[in-house]
Amino acid sequence: MYVLSGDWSIISSPSPKPYPHKPPKCSNCAPLFMKTTAVLVRHHGIYVWGDSWISAKTQAECYHYLFDAAIKLHHLGLDWSTPDHGPIQNVKGFSSINSMIKRVATKAGTVESDFKLQPYPRCVVLDIEGTTTPISFVTDVHFPYARDNVGRHLSATYDSAETQDDIKLLRSQVEDDLKQGVLGAVPIPSEDAGKEKVIASLVANVEAMIKADRKITALKQLQGHIWRTGFENNELEGVVFDDVPEALEKWHALGIKVYIYSSGSRLAQRLIFGNTNYGDLRKYLSGFFDTAVGYKRETRSYVEITESLGVDKPSDILFVTDVYQEATAAKAAGLEVVLSIRPGNSPLPENHGFKTINSFLEI
């Protein structure tokens, strides 16, 4: 008998026990196998045969190798029962063994009509705010930290190349805002006016952008740099819902690639998941998307993500968000979509037409 642990590791395997003088139990079958030497694997219920006892023992060792290889493939999220060893297909929570049974039974015409195959997606793309992370963390901790530390950050890093690049982006954005009459935009003086006046005008513009919850690269890039300082100084810690680490670990074990798509910069995303209340979760994530790929309420953004991930079809991707408009845009691009229901989230429209979940463990 093969004894397996909870994580599918082999604890013990059967020892071939030869019984050369023991007559076969099936006397009617014996004449058909007079030249067959067999090893009865104790407690296993099978015979392993060969032309000699050495050959029979070799066959038993082959069983061990094959079983061990199958378990290792399972650990990698690969289906040992198929020639190409593709990703495991899930049947209402059962393992790939049942997937094989389903295929065999289908050919035999014995499958019940309610035995439905529900494959896992190849990729999962997750929103952050209201999906992996409580909205209260974003609104009460994350954003206020960036807002309250704009001046301090700019003063401390003003002469660095990174901050000068941030200022350049902000100048360009504010110039466009002034032309379009955006509320809260104020002119940024030239460098000749002095560092203090430049910083004061930058702070005023950034605070107005944060208040308006604008999803623009100039703001998100600066916020990411401010948050990095906060995490490095242990003034910030990312927060995720309790079910998130378990789900990420499960998907990782199944070979499902998980990505984050947020309006926050990729740096900010890595900081959150690298410093959570459950530790560093980045080992479960395959990549990050931000507004550089497009705005989250635009269908084209999800088309770009699909092309970037290289899947065969958009429906190979499952997108999870708490925002109806984002769900609609992703669905229009062909992605599978579920809406996340979390404490503190905004109410969804009635008859929105999407599947909803309260926990990632429902996926």
Residue 225 to residue 165: CA distance in whole angstroms: 11
Mean pLDDT of 271-275: 97
Q: What is the pLDDT of residue 110?
A: 40
Mean pLDDT of 127-143: 96
* 53 or 158, greater pLDDT: 158
Mean pLDDT of 351-361: 95
Residue 131 phi/psi, 5° resolution? Answer: -125, -65
In the chain, residues under CATH classification 1.10.720.60 are: 135-232
- pTM (2 d.p.): 0.64
Mean pLDDT of 104-110: 43
* 111 or 276, greater pLDDT: 276
Decide if pLDDT at 86 tops 80. no
Q: What is the pLDDT of residue 172?
A: 97
> Given pLDDT bands bounded at 50, 70 and 90, which one contains residue 92?
very low
**Assigned CATH for 123-134+238-362:** 3.40.50.1000
Percent residues over pLDDT 90 in the chain: 64
Residue 259 phi/psi, 5° resolution? Answer: -130, 160
Bridge partners (DSSP) of residue 17 are 40
Rg (CA), the chain: 29
Percent residues over pLDDT 70 in the chain: 71
Residues in contact with 140: Cβ distance below 8 Å, sequence separation at least 6, in sequence order: none
Residue 16 phi/psi, 5° resolution? Answer: -60, 125
Q: Which of 269, 350, 305 is nearest to 122 (CA)?
A: 305
Decide if pLDDT at 1 tops 70. no
User: Residue 262, exposed/middle/buried by CB under 10 A (0-12, 13-18, 19+)?
Assistant: buried
Longest dimension (CA), the chain: 105
> Given pLDDT bands bounded at 50, 70 and 90, which one contains residue 303?
very high
> Given pLDDT bands bounded at 50, 70 and 90, which one contains residue 200?
very high
Residues in contact with 234: Cβ distance below 8 Å, sequence separation at least 6, in sequence order: none
> If you write DSSP's letter for every residue of 322-350 in order, what string do you get?
S-HHHHHHHHHTT-EEEEE--TTPPPPPT
CATH topology of domain 135-232: 1.10.720
In tens, the pLDDT along 215-250 reads 899 999 999 999 999 999 999 999 999 999 999 999
Q: What is the pLDDT of residue 114?
A: 38
In the chain, residues under CATH classification 3.40.50.1000 are: 123-134+238-362
In tens, the pLDDT along 151-187 reads 999 999 999 999 999 999 999 999 999 999 999 999 9
